[in-house]
A and B are shown apart, each in its own frame.
Chain A
Amino acid sequence: MNKVWWVIVPVLLILFGLLGYGLTSNPKHIPSPLIGKPFPLIEGMDLNGNKVTLGVVNGKPTVVNVWASWCAACRSEHNVLIRGSRIYGDKISLVAINYKDELVNAKAWLRQLGNPYLWSYHDLSGRAGLELGVYGVPETFFVNKKGIIVEKISAPLTDEQFAAGVELMSK
């Protein structure tokens, strides 16, 4: 009898451990398989109708922020991007993907809150978003000089995350 319990108890403990891990981890956090992969070169138009290509911009490490005027969390995140562009502006390129947004709304949004981006790729259909595994705005990609995605944040960016991302990109 006792011998059997020596086997049953550890197995139960392992099971409870796994259950506990599963129940306490965040089901909304999806690890991105894109980290370590090259950022796909996607061509399109910016909000002003100029041709732009996503990827490494101006030969500098590039931060690509995905935003939309209908996204409430983007509004709270916006100041972090404005501060970030002031601090790291000469070291990095900050561009954006304007995700499934009307041109008028997007432009009004930037006029009202300030425009920290070199340009915003206009992704009206959400096609570029799918190409990049975007599932909710805001999301931010950190791309190093070689065009490799070194970090992806799928939540409103914080100052700390911005700094850490810049650090990772310059390695």
Chain B
Amino acid sequence: MKNNIKKIMLLTFLLGISFSAFSKPVDEDPIEREMLDIAAKLRCTVCQNQPVAESHSGLAGDMRNLITEKLKQGKNEKEIVQFFVDRYGDYVLLEPPQSGNGAVLWVLPPLLFLFAALAAVLMMKSRSKSQSTMPPPVLSDADKERIRLARGIDADEKNKS
């Protein structure tokens, strides 16, 4: 009985997934894909930190339509991105340009890292220098006695426990 139920369940499952054999692969419009690739690089100017590809704002929708239209006219990605930069400025690019003002953003972090590394090395050097030039401490007989005493007491306590 139990076996039968299992068989029926398995059959139902197989029947269920067999329908996918008749499905057609999803037709993806290559222009749509290209449009989304371009839109992913553009900032939606009314939502500040969302790419045009993801935004639901009316402006982003218009921008996507325009990209599709321009792709159909045979314009390439560079021309389309430039169209938006000419009208909205570098602000429209999610990734800042590597020239002009944007160059600062690309160059500054590595420079800061180098600077920090250099500072760290210099600090460590000066620290080790000051340590090695310090004379070793001179212990008086009284100091040595106190140390011996302290160690002895420690040892006694350990033995007790």
Contacts and interface: CB of A to CB of B under 8 A. Distances in A.
Contacts of B62: 125-127, 129-130
A7 interface: yes
A145 interface: no
Give the secondary structure class of B's interface.
Answer: helix
Interface residues of A, number: 26
Interface in A2-47: 3-4, 7-8, 11, 15, 27-28, 30-34, 37
Interface residues of B, number: 21
B13 to A, nearest CB: 50
Contacts, number: 52
Given A130-B66, A135-B45, A33 B85 contact: yes
A104 interface: no
B87 A131 contact: yes
A4 B87 contact: no
Interface of B: 45-46, 48, 58-59, 62-63, 66, 85-91, 112, 115, 119, 122-123, 126
Given A11-B115, A33-B86, A33-B87, 7 more contacts: A4-B123, A7-B119, A30-B88, A32-B89, A33-B88, A126-B59, A133-B87
